[in-house]
Amino acid sequence: MTNSIKILVVDDDYNICELIRLYLEKEGYEVIVAYNGSKALEIFKSEAPSLVILDIMLPGMDGWQVCREIRRISNIPIIMLTAKGETFDKVLGLELGADDYMVKPFETKELVARIKAVLRRYEHKPAEVKEVVFPNLVVNLSTYQLKVNGKEMEIPPKELELLYFLASHPNKVFTREQLLQEVWGFDYFGDSRTVDVHIKRLREKLDSEEQVWQLKTVWGVGYKFEVK
């Protein structure tokens, strides 16, 4: 018997994943597994799990980054796992939006109990819809949808995230560095011209010349979402 609750387990240790899967499936949960951060985000967006169990030490994109990316688009429960027990890790995890925290090695029965407790708390939280609406423009970060003049547009995730961030702060100017930090993450080491490329692509999609809103370049500073 299943209870229709889907849980994403993210850990690069195959044995830990299988142990957690075994216990959770006995409890009736549906379990999906990812062994690295980028795959976890891909699965998260396609499968829409009800809860994420997230290891901190992952190859490539670590658990902090995954948590940060998930929190940009969803408020579903996240339980962090780590082999470390320092207060700093706990505080950072909670500040990034984790709902609970377990230190390895852990008792699997305790993990199950914490999952149930977190899910109970979550049931009483109102769902947060991340959406900004302007005349002839709807940017929904919860569903990753963009509508321009009532028509749904195909758009890569990062372009949508950039547009959502700017449109959430109308008429406020952001430097390229600020946009890199807010949209790509503070530890992104890419070229600031990445922002220029994404803005150019957004303008091509939006065709905003006749609208009350526009993506404007503030010369020598950066960009803003201008609303007249």
Tell if the pTM clears 0.75, that is, is over it: no
Nearest C-alpha neighbor of 160 from the set 176, 137, 144, 184: 144
* pLDDT score recorded for residue 1: 42
* pLDDT score recorded for residue 209: 78
Question: pLDDT (tens digit, 9 = 90+) per residue, 10-42?
Answer: 999 999 999 999 999 999 999 999 999 999 999
User: Spelled out in words, what is the top-level CATH class assigned to the domain 131-227?
Assistant: mainly alpha
* pLDDT score recorded for residue 2: 46
CATH number of 6-123: 3.40.50.2300
Task: Give the chain's residues under pLDDT 50.
Answer: 1-2
* pLDDT score recorded for residue 144: 85
> Could you give the CA distance from residue 74 to residue 217 in angstroms, rounded to a whole number?
30
Phi, psi of 218 (to 5 degrees): -105, 100
Alpha-carbon distances of 190 from 70, 178, 183, rounded to whole Å: 21, 13, 12
Q: In this structure, are residues 11 and 36 in contact, taking their beta carbons and an 8 Å threshold? A: no
Q: Domain ranges in the chain? A: 6-123, 131-227
